[in-house]
Structure 1
Amino acid sequence: MADFERFRVLLEEERQRKLALLPALRADISSANEARHGSNIDDEHDPEGATIAFELSQAAALLEQSVAGLAEVEAALARIADGTYGICSVCGEPISEGRLEARPWTSFCIVHAAAGRQGR
């Protein structure tokens, strides 16, 4: 039987890390947007424009990943609260403790992990 309290603590810590990261990512996006709009840069023809566009794209992708990761963590915490944590959402079998150790937010056993990634 997995020590779900230990996983709850890990998930809460991860949740706090992600929550702390979001404002910085939003600030990066805001700064890149300000630089882009404030300088009248033509992204296609100005080397600086390409850099700003790349930075904006990177920050937006990191923000999207962080928001999605936060949602996964919060869903895992909800599963702990409702007693379904550690059970595969596809087959209903227990998720191995080793898998939970590696990805405490997962809702899929190793057999169904690929199916879970395809649904996203």
Structure 2
Amino acid sequence: MAGENPITPNDESRYTVAAYYFPSYHPDPRREAMYGEGWTEWELVKKAKARFENHNQPRVPEWGYEDESDPKVMARKIDAAADHGIDAFIFDWYWYNGPFLQGGLDEGFLGADNND
């Protein structure tokens, strides 16, 4: 019966907690060709509009508008995630009939010293 043997943090078995990560917060020539020089998903965040009363928009990220293709930036994200119980990232990307938008993964995450 459910609940008879609850799993506690001290048990040997534990869940792996993963977070989806959309790595589109870095410059990319393909997006710049579509949207203009320097365009990243941060532009959408900056242009956010309030949709209801007390919906404060746009919001400014606590760490600013960072370039996730920088390994030091991604290392800080990895540390923050690990400190809050995230064990793994699941990276999302769009193929666009060619190489995917890999800067956040290839340069940022894989270049970070703490990506294990």
Structure-1-length-normalised TM-score: 0.28
Larger helix fraction of residues = 1
CA radius of gyration, larger in: 1
Of structures 1 and 2, the one scoring higher in RCO (CA 8 A, sep 6+) is 2
